[in-house]
Structure 1
Amino acid sequence: MTVELSAGRTTDADTMLAHRVVDRITQTSDTVTLILEPTRQAAQPFRAGQFMMLYRHGIGEIAISVSGDPARAGFLEHTIRAVGAVSRALHDTPVGGLVGVRGPFGTGWQPESAIGRDLVIVAGGVGLAPLRPLVLAVLAARGSYRRVVLITGARSPADMLFRGDQHRWAAAGLELHQTVDRPAASWTGQVGFVTEPLARLHLDPGRTSAFLCGPEPMMQFCARALLAKKVAAQDIRISLERNMQCGVARCGHCQLGPLLLCRDGPIVDYATAQPLLSVPEL
């Protein structure tokens, strides 16, 4: 089976390509960004919002969103929080270690759909990782957007991802709002959930697009806040996670109603997601 790539190329979706870890960037106490370089072939191009299936020999395979720059050829970046056996094994891979990669899979954020509009990007916790390629693509085309707002939330300042990046993005003209649930003694920023700075934003609803990623309840509360401001549901895009095991809509583990999220997602508009998320345990 072949999968179409962002540049019109195709790849065999079942082929596991070996990548070597060439750098490890510690983000938090349990999260690291791995910089991966293919051992033989050219790195596969991807769209912001797509994911790869990453494999650690003898442990298993899981879906991980790409967190790197779509315009950076030759390397992949994946930001991984150690929460289970496979993610822990990937997280602990040393420089020089090998990781298997299949993909890319899934839909993207489609930043081109928001050209000429205001962008509101909301990230909760590790949800900033799948949004980072979007932010980088938007900043590379900064003149194409009227206003770019990024709201990031974390449990504590120590849990904030890409802290240096966030300050550089703000210096490049992005409007940054940071908030934490549990402030440290040195924290001088906002305290609370990401919905609070979002609720305070003054928006032009007819010219606003929003991109949300984080825990599902967070995204639902943010979407409701945006709907209350008259932003259209089809102009709100969210990233949905389910148990993605194959990446190509064969196994059915990622089904959400009529959607197979490895193929029809993970990025979907809220007009599509809202009726599905309103059904308990669907």
Structure 2
Amino acid sequence: MAGNVAGQENPYLPQIATIKKIVVETGNIKSFYLVLNDSRHMENFAFEPGQVAQLSLFGVGEATFGLANSPTRRDTLQFSVMKAGEVTSALHELAVGDQIGLRGPLGNWFPYQDMKGKNVVIIGGGIGIAPLRSLIQYMLDTRDDYNEITILYGARSPQDLCYEEDREEWEKRDDVNLILTVDKEFPGWDKRVGFVPTVLKEVAPSPKNAVAVTCGPPIMIKLVLQELEALGFKDDQIITTLEKRMKCGIGKCGRCNIGPKYVCVDGPVFSLAQLKQLPDEL
């Protein structure tokens, strides 16, 4: 099992990592493929699908990102970054060979062990597909452990969909049901059109022996949770993520608490049953 801040005595001290590859996913999203400079720490970097890490640029700041690759594919540590603020904008200026700080892995993870033998419905929107990609890769690499795998992924436009190579692979597989959607009609787009919650309602996956996992913009998650409940999914069959105001990543600064829970330690992964026990502060 993964622990906090691999190989570190001081959880605030980042490891130095080198960028080995950068993939431009969309107009404002890039994926960074990193390797820790200390080979021993890289070898011992044990993480689980759904965990996060803090990436830092010295003199600029630090921000939280989900690991986008599975621990079964760990030659590099992969993070997808949407350009949105000071830290993310600075990250987008980096090039292959540049170095950044990394603290992690942090937080809990998707309950993939409990999903074994079940039908799994993955529902992602925009950059929210990044942590879900880690889970998808893991399930595909241990395919016999899971029943039907459905991936519903949407974005504003075809140009806003991430992971083109992955999508091509998923689409070719006969053991994956991939459903792609964009918010409105676009020239040349021959797949579904509609917001993710609407398409979810149309597809209507069965809750029988199933678990649903979702990540995306807050409004999408809110509506997806409502649709899943309407489809008959129980609270403990619905898994989502929160990324509320994380700062220290180890439950010390108190910035990400929701009632008695800390998103950085008790999350970022929660079942709907767990969320319903928390104060309405989201």
Report the CA distance shift for 1:197/1:46 in structure 2 as closer, same or farther (over 3 A). same
Unaligned runs of 5+ in 2: none
Unaligned runs of 5+ in 1: none
Report the CA distance shift for 1:73/1:205 in structure 2 as closer, same or farther (over 3 A). closer
Tell me the residue number matched to 1:192.
194
Tell me the residue number matched to 1:234.
236
**TM-score normalized by the length of structure 2:** 0.93
Please show how residues 53-202 of structure 1 align to structure 2 within 5 Å: 53-172=54-173, 173-202=175-204
Shift of 1:65: 0.7
Tell me the residue number matched to 1:205.
207
Distance between the aligned counterparts of 2:61 and 2:209, measured in 1?
44
Give a deviation string over 1:145-169, Cα, whole Å, max 9, x none: 2210000010110000112211201
SS of corresponding position for 2:88: helix
Distance between the aligned counterparts of 1:133 and 1:33, measured in 2?
13
Aligned residue among 29, 35, 38 for 2:27? 29
Contact 1:154/1:160 (CA < 8 Å) preserved in 2? yes
Distance between the aligned counterparts of 1:58 and 1:147, measured in 2?
47
Please show how residues 259-278 of structure 1 align to structure 2 within 5 Å: 259-274=261-276, 276=278
Contact 1:157/1:183 (CA < 8 Å) preserved in 2? no
Shift of 1:90: 1.4
Distance between the aligned counterparts of 1:45 and 1:91, measured in 2?
26
Contact 2:72/2:141 (CA < 8 Å) preserved in 1? no
Aligned letter for 1:5? A
Shift of 1:200: 2.4
Contact 1:255/1:261 (CA < 8 Å) preserved in 2? yes
SS of corresponding position for 1:127: helix
Contact 1:122/1:211 (CA < 8 Å) preserved in 2? yes
Aligned letter for 1:222? V
Distance between the aligned counterparts of 2:74 and 2:183, measured in 1?
37
Tell me the residue number matched to 1:5.
2
Say how many residue pairs are matched: 277
Shift of 1:262: 0.1
**TM-score normalized by the length of structure 1:** 0.93
Shift of 1:202: 4.4
SS of corresponding position for 1:55: strand
Aligned letter for 2:16? A
Contact 1:63/1:244 (CA < 8 Å) preserved in 2? yes
Distance between the aligned counterparts of 1:244 and 1:177, measured in 2?
31
Distance between the aligned counterparts of 2:131 and 2:185, measured in 1?
25
Shift of 1:275: 5.0
Question: Identity, % of aligned pairs?
Answer: 30
Tell me the residue number matched to 1:17.
15
